[in-house]
Every structure is written in structure tokens, then in C-alpha cells.
Amino acid sequence: MFVVQYMKNKIFILGSFNVDIVSYLDDFPLPGQTIEATNSEIICGGKGANQAYAASQNGVEVNFLTKIGKDGFAHFAKEQLGLRIKQNNYILETEKAATGVANIFVRGADKENQIVINLGANKCITEKEVQYYKSLIEESDILMVQLENNFDAIACALKLAHDANVTTLLNPAPISPQISRLLPLVDIIIPNETELQGLGKMPVSSLDETKKAVLAFSKSSGIQTIVVTRGAKGALCFQNNIFTLIPSIENVNVVDTTGAGDAFNGALAAKLANGLNLEEAARYANFYASLAVAGKGASNMPEGVGLLI
């Protein structure tokens, strides 16, 4: 169970790096249809990298472990991670797979997105490689993972943290049937509504349905601290059998929603490591995510804005 204690302001993130190839469109293509983009760009992404960048912008020391291919994108990956995460990047390389790539479509009218990922080298990190960073994990306040690496490596990192009483955060994206093997090692889980529906096997079309899905999942998984990100509707916290609704932020200038969830996750982890309680951290993370969607690209993470709760 998550308990606020003396914090060292340190986070360890095991996660993905992807090269994001982003196309901005008037509308998404139909099957078999070729359409012209209004603009395109190549930027760094991956849930792990995005969350590490967001956390590093919010007043914590970040240790970020990832894996890339020995290919044309390798230099780009190292350069971009060095520019964005100015603390400790641990970048492993492999010849067995290419650097991860995400093809992202962003629709102009409502800024919604569609994403197709080839995780490549992200799936090649090994338990032995994770074990090498055991001491850094044990010295952290928080370990954060997602599901864009292979499950053996993720489980290894979670167990190292769990055994050392380091608070473990899981962003269950992309959702996978294998997730059940990780849940006993997770203190806080942070799904969006779609992911919660997959976890709880219940509809989430209303706030009441979302609460019922949270209760069902908490009972089946044993996880007692759950934060559901709800996009423009804010967030919902569940802790100690109590729900707390985090309201939406009004008058947000939405340009691109691609990295909103990663901004929330990274900021939440940072503020928990700063010693805030769950509600305070979620309120801050919700505000921070509203700033992130005002710029283009999943890796658009603004500098932290202080304690606005």
C-alpha cells in the first residue's frame, strides 16, 4: 500500500524510447484510402521517455533506463534524450531489433490521435540488464514502468523495487493480458478510461460506471490506490476506499493530445517523490497535462510550474 514517507526526490523509470513520426491530418484515412497530411515531423517519444522527461521537468532526479537499436535512429535517440532528460540516461543498444518507431496521426478538428507502434528494441531488454541497476532502483522513492518493454524485464524491475519497499507505479499501456503477473507488485496503477475498461471488464461511459469499474478491479487485483486519467474530464483518485474527483481544467488551448497521459504520469510521480499526498499530486499532474497539450508532439513537456493545487 502506498504510504507517504521521507522522500529523496529520486525516480527510476524503466521504459520505452520511440521515434515518433507524426502526421497532422484534416481527418483520419478510411481503409485503403491515401490522403495528404497538412504537416509532419519526426520527434522523440515512447511512454517511458515522455514520462521521464515530464518528471525531470518537475523537480526530481530521474534515472531512465531504455534500449535502442544500432541503426539510423540511434544517434537521434541519444541526442534527443540528452537534450530532454538532463540527469541520468542509461541507453542500452542491441543489433537484434530496430529502435522503436511510432506512427502517429493527429486529426485537426478535435486534436484526437491514432497511434501504431513497432516497439522493436524496447522488447529486447533483459532481466540481467535490469538487475545491473538494482542499487539505483533501491535508492529511489518511486519506480515507474509502462508496458512497452518485455514483461520479464518489467516484472524484474517491479520485484526489485517491491522488495526494497520502493513505491511502484504502473501505467498499464498498451493494455495486455499478461498484466496479471505484474499486479501483485504494483502499489499505484494509473490507467486511462479505456485501459480501466480492459482491466475491470466493465463499461466506463459515465462517472458512476467508472467508479464501479475501479471498485471491481481493486477487489480482483488487490491494488488499493488507483488514479484514472479521464482526458478533458480530469481524473479520478481511489485510495483507502475513498474516491476523489479531480476536476477538468477549463479554457485549455488544445493543440495535440498525444502526450497528455505521459505528462500526467510523469508529473504525478515527481510530485509524489516530492512528498505530496495522492490528491495533491493528481491535482498538480492534471494541471501540468493541460499545459502539455498546448504544444505539438508527445514529448512536449513544459517546465514545471510550482505547486498549483
What is the rounded distance in angstroms from the CA atom of residue 155 to the CA atom of residue 49?
A: 19
- The answer on whether 48 is annotated among ligand-binding residues is yes
The owner of cell 535502442 is 68
- Is 168 assigned a ligand-binding role in the annotation? no
Q: Binding site annotation covers 145?
A: no
Collect all residues with Cβ–Cβ distance below 8 Å to 48 and sequence separation of at least 6.
13, 14, 15, 16, 17, 64, 66, 122, 145, 146, 148, 149
- On whether 274 is known to bind a ligand per the annotation, the reply is no
Q: Is 18 annotated as a binding residue?
A: yes
Is 234 annotated in a binding site? The answer is yes
200 is in an annotated binding site: no
Distance CA 123, CA 89 (A): 18
Amino acid sitting at position 256? D
153 DSSP 8-state letter: H
Residues 6+ apart with CB under 8 A from 110: none
The answer to whether 240 and 254 are in contact (CB under 8 A) is no
Handedness of CA 244, 292, 147, 22 (dihedral sign): positive
Q: Is 20 annotated as a binding residue?
A: yes
Is residue 111 marked as binding? no
Residues known to be catalytic = 262
What is the Cα–Cα distance from 114 to 91, expressed in whole angstroms? 27
233 is in an annotated binding site: yes
On whether 113 is known to bind a ligand per the annotation, the reply is no
Binding residue per annotation — 32?
Answer: no
Count Cβ atoms below 10 Å from residue 253 Cβ, excluding itself: 9
Enumerate the known binding-site residues for K(+).
256, 258, 292, 295, 297
Enumerate the known binding-site residues.
18-20, 46-50, 148, 192, 229-234, 256, 258, 261-262, 286, 292, 295, 297
Enumerate the known binding-site residues for ATP.
192, 229-234, 261-262, 286
